[in-house]
Structure formats: C-alpha cells, structure tokens
Amino acid sequence: MRIDLHTHSTASDGTQSPAALVLEAAHLRPRLDVLGLTDHDTTSGWDEAEAAACEHGVTLVRGVEISCEREGHSIHLLGYLIDPTFEPLIAELALARESRVTRLERMVELLVADGIPISYAAVLAHVPPGATPGRPHLADALVTTGLVPNRDEAFARWLYNDSPYYVAHYAPDPARAVELVLMAGGVPVIAHPYAVRKGLVPVPGLIEELAALGLAGVEVDHPDHSAEARRELRSLTAALGLFATGSSDYHGAGKRNWLAEETTAREVFEEIAHLGTGVGVVRP
C-alpha cells in the first residue's frame, strides 16, 4: 500500500489541478493508494480532489500546509482532516493569504528597483483563480518574461529565503497553529523540519515544545532531508511518542521531485485516519 501525504495542486503553488493530481496518483505504477492534498494556507482544492478520488478509486486525506513563523524563520505545519468550517482557523488562513498578496507586490517592487523588469500583473497571470499566491508564481512570471529558464533558477538567483528581495508575509506562530489544528479536529504534523536552513530555530527544542501541545507527528522522510537529519528526527519522534511520516511534497512540474518519491507506513496513515475528527478520510 503506497501512501503519500503531502502534495500541492493549483489551489496553491502546484502545477496540476486537484483532479489531475488524483488522476496521476491513480495512474502511477505501482499505483498510489492514498493521496494527501496539502495546499499552502487553503482548503479550496478539497472538493475537486474528493470528486476525482471517488471517480478514480484513490483514498484521499484532506489537509492543509500552514505557513508559520518563529523569530523570522519559516516553519510549515501540516493539518490533516481539519474541519474546513472552523472559523478561527479559516480566519488565520485568510489573513495569511491576504498578506501574501502585499508581500509579493513588495518583492516585485524590490526587483524592479534593481532593474529586473517584472510587474505584479505578470505575477497575477500565473496565479490560478482562488489559489494561494506564493513565490513560485513570481518565479513563473520571471520565467515567462525570459529572465530565467525555470522556477528553480528563479529561486537560486532571486527568490531564496536570504535573498535581498525576500519579504516575509503574516504567519502564525507554530504553537498557535498546532492549537488551531487540534481545535479544528485535525492532526498536526510538522512538515520537513530540516528542509529549511539548518540551525536557525533549534529543531529538537521546537518539536519537543510542540509535542507538549499535542503535535502528533513529524515528516521525517522528505526529499530535502539528509540521511543524518532523518536519523535524528526518527529517534526524536520515537523518544517523544510521535509518529513519523514520509511524503514527496510534490508540486507537479514546478520542482524537481516526483509523486510518491517518499511514502508513509500504513499504520501511521491509519492512526491519522483514527485521530482526525474534523472531516473523514475519503475512501471510495
């Protein structure tokens, strides 16, 4: 049974529609049995994914990837099976999405001031209707303007986290996000703790702190994690009684990785399904 619990669609910065993503899962060989849809700061892809999952016989775990921030550093929290109508969480996600707009406008201004010919209108042309706007859409605009060949190159040259063109957006503290996910009946799992620059927020301390608040799991296997990072996270999760997930963080053609590149154990998936009460797993 193959299970991939972290993917993105055109509801945020993935390049495939939710239905196309589900179809790809169904057509993978060996097939992907369980797909988690976790777009950045939105649940707007859920309905389309659910319909496609029923049609193609793919088990669907509906989730969200919440952008959080602590001391200026970005931390991502996965919230599985949350109630998408839980008002405090909806409000927090809406705030983050709105501030992502002003933040991208500011990044465009900084690029323009340095002679890089780009416009916010060009960025908007790459944001699908209703999608959470992000740096990858700005990268797409830089690609179509002919300034770089692909998203990766746009990130390497201008959009990386320490770049002088980087602007932060509003994001809740991870402790608050864990609390909101739990109140929404969801299962909080910290995403790729070591995919961000190492050593900034002390990761073991953060995971311990969040575990005390009810964090359920850690994304241990992730394409951006070294073998050493995985070893450390695996022993930490075991010591804290958390479960370990593995996921591709697939973004379609937007990043050099593939669906089901990393996978989660069946028992862990069943535990998530059991713990989540906000919505159920879609089992066609």
Distance CA 179, CA 228 (A): 30
**How many residues make up the chain in this entry?**
284
Tokens of 21: 């993503």
* Chain CA centroid to CA 151, Å: 17
Q: Residue 144 or 235: which CB sits closer to ligand AMP?
A: 144
Q: Residue 19 or 127: which CB sits closer to ligand AMP?
A: 127
Stretch that binds Zn ion, among 47-55, 218-226, 249-257, 270-278 (CB under 5 A): 249-257
Q: Which 189-208 residues touch ligand AMP, going by CB under 6 A?
A: none
From residue 18 to residue 47, what is the string marking binding to Fe ion with x (rule CB under 5 A)?
------------------------------
Burial class (CB in 10 A: 0-12, 13-18, 19+), 188: buried
128 binds ligand AMP (CB under 6 A): no
Q: For 254, which DSSP code?
A: G
From residue 20 to residue 59, what is the string marking binding to ligand AMP with x (rule CB under 6 A)?
--------------------x-------------------
Q: Residue 84 or 134: which CB sits closer to ligand AMP?
A: 134
For 108, the enclosing helix (H) or strand (E) is helix 87-113
Stretch that binds Zn ion, among 82-90, 138-146, 206-214, 248-256 (CB under 5 A): 248-256
User: Coil, strand, or helix at residue 20?
Assistant: helix
From residue 56 to residue 75, what is the string marking binding to Zn ion with x (rule CB under 5 A)?
---------x----------
Other CB atoms within 10 A of residue 113 CB: 9
User: Are 183 and 89 contacting, i.e. CB atoms less than 8 angstroms apart?
Assistant: yes
User: Are 94 and 116 contacting, i.e. CB atoms less than 8 angstroms apart?
Assistant: no
User: Which residue of 56, 62, 76, 135 would you call a contact of Fe ion, by CB under 5 A?
Assistant: 76
Residue with tokens 């097939």: 31
- Strand ranges, E, within 121-242: 187-190, 217-221
Number of residues that bind Fe ion (CB under 5 A): 3
249 binds Zn ion (CB under 5 A): yes
Q: For 275, which DSSP code?
A: H
Which of Fe ion, ligand AMP, Zn ion, none binds 255 (CB below 5-8 Å, type-dependent)? ligand AMP
Which residues of this chain interact with ligand AMP, rule CB under 6 A? 13, 40, 67, 134-136, 151-152, 155, 251, 254-255
Which residues of this chain interact with Zn ion, rule CB under 5 A? 65, 249
